[in-house]
Amino acid sequence: MEKSIVAVQRATPETILEDVRTAMENARFRDYLDPAAPVILKDNISWHFPFLGANTTPWQLEGVILTLKDAGYNDIVCVQNETVVTDAFKGEQLNKYVPIFKKYNIPVLYNFRKEDMRWIRYIPKAKMRVLDDIYPEGITIPEYFIGKNIVHLPTVKCHIYTGTTGSMKNAFGGLLTTRRHYTHSVIHETLNDLLAIQKEIHAGIFTVMDGTICGNGPGPRTMIPVEKDLMLAAGDCTAIDAVAAKLMGFNPLDLNFIRIAHESGLGQGDLRDIEIVGTDISQESWGFTVGNNAASLVGRFIWFGPLRSVQKLFFRTPLVYAFVFGSFFYHDFVYWPLKAKPQMEAFKKTSKWGKLFDLYPA
């Protein structure tokens, strides 16, 4: 397999839209996206509240739209999904995407609304590691995704169950149904099954990852935002996740989802097989750590710990609603008002990127 290219671009608030363009050009985005096919923008709303580092940034979204349109990709649509703790409508408003969609005439579809998207049974050509067992009634995906390009818009951050999260994890909400929590105990294998499916159904795949503000700690929500002033871009989902992991201070091949993808030929996870162009990051290793929060302690006990054998009792019966409510209540009514909102208000007072966020129209 040839070396994969990952572009890393140093960024400033004054030049950010051009910095996004430079990263995409250096990563040769035209080589990965079919000019005759529509483009799906798959942003990343890990939390509907505007916690910088957790979600796609407005400058990341705007820079990608401008670059695509200038290159002749005019058939662009954004697809949103929901999770048990995120509201897509609230998230796209509070994170300031809606004015951007209106400014550039980008339609938005919601994969959880029947009027927007039909879910169909899909039989993958690739051998599945776990999804056939998790969904014995059949794997279903949004019919709308088939034959279209997709551009993933994740951020550089840690994750309590996968160590880091980025391009590969960004397919989780788009391609899996609301029962995707069934997969958490085999999340690394699931992400590789999803990557295999993406390679079958999409006309092209590309990723632009925001590293202007990164998330250190028990992500994807309860983190410490850290300014790092970078944008990343690549046509290899595994490779860009590997480079992001290296930046954060992890050995990419120690992360199971990256290692499996590398060994399976789904992408390059070994840094020796990746050509990093643009900014020199050879000395970058930020020492991020994942840690734990309330959600991870419960999840590890049930999904990976002594109760793993009876997890179906908790997550495939009405008992699941107790966990859904607990997670929702903890994040929205405890952690956000008491910790995250004051943390973000203080961060924005000193952060150049926080000041840029405030300049975007609400």
Q: Within a domain: residue 357?
A: no
- Residue 232 inside a domain? The answer is yes
Q: Is residue 352 part of a domain?
A: no
Evaluate whether residue 185 is within a structural domain.
Answer: yes
103: Cβ contacts below 8 Å, ≥ 6 apart: none
Q: What is the pLDDT of residue 344?
A: 97
Domain assignment present for residue 95? The answer is: yes
User: What total number of domains does the chain contain?
Assistant: 1
Q: Is residue 302 part of a domain?
A: no
For 273-287, what is each residue's pLDDT tens digit?
Answer: 999 999 999 999 999
Q: What is the CATH number of the domain that holds 16?
A: 3.40.50
Q: Report if residue 267 sits inside a domain.
A: yes
pLDDT of res. 83: 82
3-state DSSP assignment of residue 192: helix
Residue 211 lies in a domain: yes
Residue-wise pLDDT tens digits, 118-173? 999 999 999 999 999 999 999 999 999 999 999 999 999 999 999 999 999 999 99
pLDDT confidence of residue 183: 82
Residues of the chain with pLDDT under 50: 313
Q: What is the pLDDT of residue 326?
A: 74
- Residue range(s) defining the domain that contains residue 217: 4-292
Main-chain phi, psi angles of 234, to 5 degrees:
-170, 155
Write the CA distances from 293 to 72, 159, 217, 225, 301, integer angstroms: 44, 11, 9, 16, 12
User: Global pTM?
Assistant: 0.94
Taking alpha carbons only, the member of 191, 197, 192, 82 closest to residue 146 is 197
